[in-house]
Amino acid sequence: MSRHPLYGILLATAGALFLTPDALFMRLSGMDGFQMVAWRGMLMGSVMVLGWAVLSGDRRGDIRQLATGPGVAIMGCQLLNSVFFCLGIASAPAAVVLIGVAAVPVCSALLSRVILSEPTRLATWVAMAAVMAGIAIAVSGGDGEAVTLNLRALAGAGFGLAVALMLALNFTILRARPGLPIMLVIGVGAWMAGLTGLTITGLGEMTEGRPWAMVVTGAVILPVSFFTLSLASRHTQAANVSLLMLLETVLAPVWVWIGVGERPTVTMAIGGAVVVVSLAIYLIVTGRGLRPKQAHG
């Protein structure tokens, strides 16, 4: 029995919402970039691989998938995504990094056209434009503050764009190759990132900061959200998954406000409202258009 077409969108929404506190815990950790890469990678990889080992019905077949082109690509995407995001958050304003990450829908739409020959509906493009406008408002500066560009901001935007490309490629490949074991390939990719961070950081520096914050995000937030988002990419277009991931750009500042008392600016509130309303309208329109047809007797 096939699932309702809205199933993938609901999965993506849940995964995106679960991911939104990630930046808060990264800030709370007080760690540098590669230290966060090490903690997040090793914890997330361990949870994902353990989950795969428990749930897999064909472990040998799944392991063989690691050596295939798509399997290697997914692991590489996970490694680079983790490195770029942690370095961006550690070295640049989080808002600038998230501006770059906001390009995920455009990257997904383009990659889906190239790899899957998958058309992107007008409603998706309209929603993308509305959401991107809301994000532009949200990160346009504080109350009366001027927006200035500097090397740190440019570096942060570059890291964010690199993350966007890796995420879009990850979702597109998983949609094209539904036989890939999601938890295994993402888990091994996370391990690769963790080992990279550990090698650069060194064991002696790993306990600096607040490791408990990394345990929360690495062992809970990341495995749950990435598995859900990756699974969603098999039931709906990658552009839809990445569009809903933009919720992180708007809601992350709210979590930071609750967690460390950094109050969002008026522009963030206005931009957040634009994004939430746009996504709500998009989900309603998509739900009506994808409602299953009654069978004819």
**Mean pLDDT confidence for 120-138:** 77
Confidence of residue 294 (pLDDT cuts 50, 70, 90): very low
152-156, 197-201, 244-248: which has the minimum mean pLDDT?
A: 152-156
φ, ψ for residue 263, nearest 5 deg = -75, 130
Structure confidence at residue 150 (pLDDT): 47
Do residues 175 and 237 lie in contact, with contact meaning Cβ atoms separated by under 8 Å? yes
Cβ neighbours of residue 286 closer than 8 Å, sequence gap 6 or more:
6, 9, 123, 240
Cβ-based burial of 172 (10 A; exposed 0-12, middle 13-18, buried ≥19): buried
Give the separation between CA 167 and CA 225, rounded to whole angstroms: 13
Give the separation between CA 98 and CA 108, rounded to whole angstroms: 16
List pLDDT tens digits, range 147-173.
444 466 667 778 888 998 898 888 888
Cβ neighbours of residue 98 closer than 8 Å, sequence gap 6 or more:
23, 135, 139, 160, 248, 249, 252
Which is more confidently placed, 109 or 205?
Answer: 205
Q: How many CA atoms lie within 13 A of 240 on its CB side?
A: 31
Do residues 226 and 186 lie in contact, with contact meaning Cβ atoms separated by under 8 Å? yes
The C-alpha angle 250, 170, 34, rounded to 5 degrees, equals: 70
Q: How many CA atoms lie within 13 A of 98 on its CB side?
A: 24
Q: How many CA atoms lie within 13 A of 204 on its CB side?
A: 0
List pLDDT tens digits, range 13-43.
898 899 899 988 998 998 988 999 999 999 9
Residue 264, pLDDT > 90, answer no
Confidence of residue 286 (pLDDT cuts 50, 70, 90): low
Q: How many CA atoms lie within 13 A of 266 on its CB side?
A: 3
Sign of CA dihedral 244, 139, 167, 26: negative
Cβ-based burial of 236 (10 A; exposed 0-12, middle 13-18, buried ≥19): buried
Whole-prediction pTM: 0.77
